[in-house]
Structure 1
Amino acid sequence: MSSLQPPEPVTRQEGAQASSEFLARSVGVSLLAALAGLMFGLDTGVIAGALTFIGDEFHASAQMQEWIVSSMMAAAAVGSIVAGNLSFRFGRRRALMGAAILFLAGSITCALAPSVLVLVIGRVFLGLAVGIAAFTAPLYISEVAMESARGSLISCYQLMMTLGIFLAYVVDSFLSYGGHWRWMLGLMTLPAVVFCIGCLFLPDSPRWLMMRGDTRHARLVMRYLRSSPQEADREIDDIATELKKEHGNVWTFFRTNPNFRRSVGLGMLLQVMQQLTGINVLMYYAPKVFQAAHFGVAAATWSTAIIGLVNMAATGLAILFIDRWGRRPLLLLSCVVMTLSMAVAGALVAMGASTLPQEIGMVVALLLFVAGFAMGAGPLVWTLCSEIQPLRGRDFGIACSTFTNWAANWLISNTFLSVLEMLGEARTFWLFALMNAIFIVITLGFVPETKGVSLEAIEDHLMKGRRLRDLGR
């Protein structure tokens, strides 16, 4: 455990004050873990503004630039696989600490890179860190958060990610005037240090402690995070009951239990669809997308920064409503907005996007697309993937879905410029519109409403063979 210590039991007269205090602790712990999302966003966003200058300095071809971008995605896929074992064997907190150290090492390597090869090596370090963090942070938050705020707190990871992207775009915009790409990449070391320090103050996940047989410490941590000893003890008892239901290793569990395979399959499907929305194409290559639509270099850079701001603001709205409206309504609204905005963007590009009204319409369409993603598909996919997996297979299930996310991310980021050149801008946007329309169908058919439902209840429904979309009922 960390240095955090459980508080003394509170009296009934102190109940209201204690409830606020425990909520603050739960939120504080979740936000510290969500700093992983900030690092993810910074390293995702910063490359968009730096790529042009890196290409000029190293005379990198379009294919080489694709590799500079996608090397982080490939390494993140590997990191997500390693994360499952690290998180299970050493705990969520220690896995996050390892990711923080890799973030720091990768940022320094990229900033000092004398060649494309060294730069790619630095991006690989960052990718491993992102893969571990993207797996561990939502998992950790889902295991320490209260049921009533679980969706919002898991979504804080996505909010931190969007904040990181926005900050990276702003830094890129200011440093782009002098082409200072090394400063763009080097400034990422500062938040990496903050993340390292933050990990020192995290407690271990009580659910992980229970899986390790350390009930005493699990109870202490749960009492630290809950408003009453009775509530904490009830959760500990529920976890113990779920752990007794299954025996054998996780691979045997996956191979012999079709219900577990269903939850793993849904998590992987959601992550594939999240990538096929087209969001990361816009995040990695936003300046190039705007330049292809006949924007100037300066206008493209600042338009990209505006995209980052909208992304962050819409994610903040999602956090306010995710535990009020529920997962399904927000996700469906998100998919509809993304489908329509991508279709409109394609139509405007097909018309030439050469007049001022058309250029404004292009910016508005892309901003609406980003807002649609940020209020639903962005945070909710990570939330759902953390909620639908049974406890004994949670590390394995989330590892599978996170690996799928990064594998799809790598494939798209490594081929986008080539696809853009082959299909043209308009057809590329229309292709993404089609993918988002398919996402609507998948949401209607398979996505459950998990608002206000305990992880143990979701697992019980899954193991009883209920339809995936009914797991929260």
Structure 2
Amino acid sequence: MESSESVPSKTAEDQRDSPGQLTGAVVIVALVSAISGVLYGYDTGIISGALLQITDDFGIAETWKQVIAASILLGAVIGALTCSYLSDKRGRKGTLVLLAVVFVVGALWCAFAPNPVLLSLGRLVLGFAVGGATQTAPMYVAELAPPKYRGRLVLCFQIAIGVGIVIATIVGATESISWRHSIGAAAVPAAIMLGLLLRLPESPRWLVKQGNGDEARSVLQKVRPSNYDVERELEETANLARVERTAKTRGWPGLREAWVRPALILGCGIAIFTQLSGIEMIIYYSPTILTDNGFDTSVALQVSVALGVTYLLAQLGGLAIIDRVGRRRLTLIMIPGAALSLFVLGLLFVTGNSGRDSMPFIIACLIVFMLFNAGGLQLMGWLTGSETYPLAVRPAGTAAQSAALWATNLFITLTLLSLITAIGVGPSMWLYAAFNVAAWVFVYFRMPDLTGRSLEEIEGKLADGKFRPADFAR
């Protein structure tokens, strides 16, 4: 997630607006972040199509399907929390090097797993890398990127997740590819990521925090153009490091402070609702749900590809308009469309209109849901963490938010097929439609519009106890 600094001086602000500050080294840093995002999307999304083959190979029932799909999410919770500590102790680059190795090991482990137990353990290992990447990669690129380009380069990570999901659905739809090959193939981009990382520098901000000012200066001189005022940025970074060290409210204990609590409630609440809204249910299990209800496997996998492409296009569209429409307004507009599509989808199943004749309507509901959900609420899951938390508690806050997101994802993945078996597809869709209604209510009452607000202004509102939507009305 993006990490921004305190109010810059006029000179520094002039630098931010100047052109030509994007060097080749920074582009490679952004590429590493993008590869980690692709791996996130691919490793979590590939199970959608692979699960059909795994079921046939291992002869497993719903319980094992859920365990295999969910094990990567348990690992992600562990990874998100652990790498918050590791990135402070080992450095951003050092942590990412470790995660790249884990990505390679996890992919190969899963590819050669002889039974569902070892496959689940391999996906647990992969999950550690996935969760750690969501915590560390955006922070690394944010701390190395020039201020002018920081937001756009950090968002490469989010777009890359959608690219990974699309690739996973296309590979899954190619039924001639073994699930072992499709899962193991993730080791290749992970190895490329490792090779690139070994040639990159450590984050200058982390180096300053460790007291290595000279090394930080050397890094900045390598990743900034020759006419850039490195000393100014180094001075700002040193000032921020002093603020963090002397802040009374900092780290994990700081999240318990009463004035910080509204930010934590908003961040974790949005993270939870991004998952309860049904996005992972659709990504992971749509082929399984469709084939269990009479769809041909090839059709179900083609639908999965269409959903992946819709996810990516909706994210791109949402990111293109979010600053003009506003975060809060866009979310409130899009959630009802997602809720309505799930309600109609549930109605089709409850009324028995879920056969081949209703196939176009079922597919339309799934795509409409993906369009409204990915283009609205899903964008908020990562943005709130980069904008909401005070500087001194931001690493702990984003780690807590990531853990809340992955834990909710884990719960849904472990229970969905059992829920469908117990109450049916239709009522299950209605339950998730109700979660979308609850998400709308939460956003309406708890989410202020932070569009165009500086991080210092947001922190000031928190400190003054004015963090309700009405407090941010223009």
Aligning the two structures, in what range does the TM-score lie when normalised by the shorter sequence? 0.7 to 0.9
CA deviation digits over 1:151-199, x for unaligned, max 9? 544332221111111111111111x246x11111111111111222233
Distance (whole Å) between structure 2 residues aligned to residue 265 and residue 410 of structure 1: 20
Alignment of 1:239 onto 2:237: no
The structural deviation recorded for 1:420 is: 0.8
Give 1:362's aligned residue.
Answer: 362
Matched, 1:284 2:271: no
Structure 1 residue 395, shift from structure 2 partner: 1.7
Aligned to 1:329: 329
- Comparing 183-192 with 444-453, greater Cα deviation is found at 444-453
- 1:425 Cα deviation from its structure 2 partner: 0.9
1:352 match: 352
Task: Find the aligned partners of 1:287 and 1:214 in 2 and give their Cα distance.
Answer: 52
Q: Does 1:273 align with 2:273?
A: yes
- For the 8 Å contact 1:87–1:95, the answer to whether it is kept is yes
- Runs of 5+ consecutive residues of structure 2 not aligned to the other structure: 1-14
Matched, 1:379 2:379: yes
Q: Secondary structure at the match of 2:260?
A: helix
1:299 and 2:299 aligned: yes
> Which segment is superposed worse, 289-298 or 219-228?
219-228
Matched with 1:311 is: 311
> Which amino acid in the other structure matches residue 109 of structure 2?
T
After the TM superposition, which residues 144-183 of structure 1 pair with which residues of structure 2 at under 5 Å, given as runs?
144=144, 150-174=150-174, 176-177=175-176, 180-183=178-181
**Comparing 30-39 and 395-404, the one that deviates more:** 30-39
Alignment of 1:180-199 (within 5 A): 180-199=178-197
Deviation string for 1:397-440 (max 9, x for gaps)?
11111111111111110010000111211111111111111111
Is it true that 1:73 corresponds to 2:41 in the alignment? Answer: no
Normalised by the size of structure 2, how large is the TM-score?
Answer: 0.87
1:138 touches 1:382 (CA, 8 Å); kept in 2?
Answer: no
Q: Structure 1 residues 385, 202: CA separation in 2 closer, same or farther (over 3 Å shift)?
A: farther
Q: Which residue of 2 aligns with 1:6?
A: none
Could you say what secondary structure the match of 1:19 adopts?
Answer: coil
Pick closer, same or farther for the CA change 1:276–1:169 going to 2, 3 Å.
same
The residue number in structure 1 matching 2:255 is 254
Residue in structure 2 matched with residue 451 of structure 1 by the alignment:
451
Contact 1:219 1:236 in 2 (8 A): no
Task: Evaluate the alpha carbon distance shift between residue 419 and residue 259 of structure 1 in structure 2; reply closer, same or farther with a 3 A threshold.
Answer: same
Distance change (3 Å), C-alpha of 1:283 and 1:222? same
**Residue 274 of structure 1: how far off its partner (Å):** 0.9
Alignment counterpart, residue 204 of structure 1, candidates 199, 202, 205: 202
Tell me if the contact between 1:173 and 1:302 (Cα under 8 Å) persists in the aligned partners: yes
State the alpha-carbon separation in 2 of the partners of residues 65 and 289 from structure 1. 12
2:25–2:200 CA contact under 8 A, matched in 1: no
**Aligned-residue offset at 1:246:** 0.5
Distance in 2 (CA, whole Å) between partners of 1:448 and 1:34 is 29
- Aligned 8 A contact 2:75 2:124 in 1: yes
- SS in structure 1 opposite 2:19? helix
Q: 1:459 to 1:235 in 2, by over 3 A?
A: farther
Tell me the CA shift for residue 40 of structure 1.
Answer: 0.8
Residue 348 and residue 23 in structure 1: after superposition, are their counterparts in 2 closer, same or farther (change >3 A)? farther
The percentage of aligned residue pairs carrying the same residue is 31
Comparing 376-385 with 207-216, greater Cα deviation is found at 207-216
Per the alignment, residue 106 of structure 1 pairs with 106
Partner letter of residue 254 of structure 2? F
Residue 299 to residue 375, structure 1, CA distance change in 2 (3 Å): same
Amino acid at match of 1:162: G
CA contact (8 A) 1:345 1:426 kept: yes
Unaligned runs of 5+ in 1: 1-14
Match of 1:419 in 2: 419
Q: Secondary structure at the match of 1:450?
A: coil
Q: 1:423 to 1:138 in 2, by over 3 A?
A: farther
Contact 1:211–1:243, Cα closer than 8 Å, also in 2 = no
Equivalent-residue separation in structure 2 for 1:16 and 1:405 (angstroms) = 33
Change in 2 beyond 3 A, CA 1:222/1:389:
farther
The one-letter code of the counterpart of 1:405 is L
**Whole-angstrom CA distance in 2 between matches of 1:250 and 1:114:** 43
Q: Which deviates more, 208-217 or 29-38?
A: 208-217
Kindly state the Cα deviation for residue 145 of structure 1 after the two structures are TM-superposed. 5.1
Q: Residue 463 of structure 1 aligns with which residue?
A: 463
1:71 Cα shift? 1.1
Instruction: Identify the range of structure 1 (119-128 vs 383-392) with the bigger mean alpha-carbon deviation.
Output: 383-392
Give, as a single letter, the amino acid of the residue that structure 2 aligns with 1:118.
L
TM-superposition CA deviations, 1:180-222 (whole Å, max 9, x none): 1111111111111122223335443444344334445556656
Letter matched to residue 239 of structure 1: L
Deviation at 1:109, TM superposition (A): 0.6
For the residues of structure 2 that align with 1:138 and 1:372, how far apart are their CA atoms? 25
* Contact residue 17 and residue 148 of structure 2 kept, 8 A: no
Counterpart contact for 1:158–1:378, Cα < 8 Å: no
In structure 1, C-alpha distance between the alignment counterparts of 2:302 and 2:402, rounded to whole Å: 31
Q: TM-score, normalised by structure 1?
A: 0.87
Change (3 A) 1:454 1:217: farther
Q: Partners in 2 of 1:146 and 1:349 — Cα distance?
A: 52
Contact 1:389–1:459 (CA<8 Å) still a contact in 2?
Answer: yes
